[in-house]
Amino acid sequence: MNCKQFNSISLEEVLLSLGHLPTKQNEKEAWYLNPFASESQASFKWDKRINAWYLHSEGVGGNNTDFMKKFLNASVNEVLNWAQKQNFSSFHQQPQIKKYEPNYRIDEIMDLQNPNLKQYLYGRGLTSKIYNYIKEIRFTVGEKKLYAIGFENLSRGFELRNSFYKGSLLKKDISIINLNSGLQDISNVEVKNIKGVAVFEGFMDALSFIEMQKSFVGDILVMNSIALLNKSIEHLKNYSNINLFLDNDNAGIKSKSVIIKHFPEAKDHSAIYFDHKDLNEFLIHRTKNDVALKAGKQSEKFPEADKQQIRNQEPEVKNLNGFKMKR
């Protein structure tokens, strides 16, 4: 995706994907509360005729690329990489889009049953231990019937994954899981009585943490998109013990820096998987090595003589602020 293509997408759809709805609108324009900061009166205007925005409270504006550069505090390339992953429905349509109409429907929401989805999770290092935190979603896009693992967010939308599909349905939002009750905390987002929280970018990393942890008590917060960083920060104000498990890439490092700036006492645990992109990649690697070692096989990546070295190199977390993840 290039800038011209991204700027041709309706800004309404971009804003909707980030959880922003207009406070008022007519045929020519729509007004939103400031997406970059808190305010009580809408000062952000979207001009539908030219698909451009202007923030009156700050005196700045521009196109979609300008908006996401400011929203993500990112470069143009990082914005385009983000946009490429969003699966915008209007990407292949004409630039002048007056209204975003979803081309999908949810057919059924159920407990996980499909063996292909279970096999997909197994390939990601995940077992039945995490089944209570996900759903099987059967849905239709256009005329095509699909199924995927669904991870619910606070707005009752779903993040979707299977071996060939990555997307989301309904409204985009963060997710919060309370490990004390084993349920997603959808109905009660006021979590002032919960002291600890573990923070992740994506739900596969959150599920990996659930798979590995032994004694953590508290909440899990999943951003589901770097674009929801500001909303995540608002929720993190409810916690006194913040633990970060963000990706080891540019976006993850930037997000970590922003969170620590707001919460200097937040703890960064990315060293656990320092030589992997994220926690799930680390889990996959560890699981494969465990299977090979238990079967008495020689790893193709490491010679037999280095098995003890592998064990020594893999981080073993015994008592890290309530986390107990070990082989």
If DSSP codes are grouped into helix, strand and coil, which group holds residue 318?
strand
In the predicted structure, residue 233 carries a pLDDT above the cut 60: yes
Looking at residue 310, its pLDDT comes to 34
Taken in order 296, 299, 304, 306, the sign of the CA dihedral is: negative
Mean pLDDT computed over 20-48: 86
| Better-scored residue on pLDDT, 300 or 26 | 26
Q: Return the residue matching tokens 């030589």.
A: 275
| Centroid of chain to Cα 168 | 10
Rounded to the nearest 5°, which phi and psi values hold at 121? -65, -40
- Do 136 and 117 contact (CB within 8 A), yes or no? yes
- Quick one: which of 147, 136, 133, 229 has its CA closest to 186? 133
* HEC string for 251-264: HHHHHHHHHHHHCC
In the predicted structure, residue 99 carries a pLDDT above the cut 80: no
DSSP summary character for residue 192? T
If DSSP codes are grouped into helix, strand and coil, which group holds residue 76?
helix
Residue type, 248: N
d(CA 250, CA 100): 31
DSSP summary character for residue 248? S
- In tens, the pLDDT along 117-158 reads 999 999 999 999 999 999 999 988 778 888 999 999 998 889
- In tens, the pLDDT along 12-32 reads 888 888 878 888 888 889 999
**Structure token pair of residue 238:** 């409810």
d(CA 286, CA 294): 12
pLDDT more than 70, % of the chain: 80
**Structure token pair of residue 165:** 């599909």
- Quick one: which of 5, 100, 3, 95 has its CA closest to 50? 95
d(CA 54, CA 62): 7
In the predicted structure, residue 186 carries a pLDDT above the cut 70: no
Ramachandran sector of residue 19 (left: φ over 0; alpha: ψ -120 to 50; beta: rest): left
Average pLDDT, the chain: 80
In the predicted structure, residue 194 carries a pLDDT above the cut 80: no
| Centroid of chain to Cα 54 | 28
In the predicted structure, residue 65 carries a pLDDT above the cut 90: yes
Looking at residue 247, its pLDDT comes to 92
| Centroid of chain to Cα 194 | 22
d(CA 319, CA 215): 9
Longest dimension (CA), the chain: 71
Mean pLDDT computed over 169-183: 77
Which pLDDT band holds residue 105 (cuts at 50, 70, 90)?
confident
Q: Return the residue matching tokens 């990555």.
A: 166
Which pLDDT band holds residue 166 (cuts at 50, 70, 90)?
confident
Go through the domains of the chain in sequence order and give each one's CATH number.
Answer: 3-84 (3.90.580.10), 104-273 (no CATH)
Pairing status of strand 219-222 against strand 44-47: unpaired
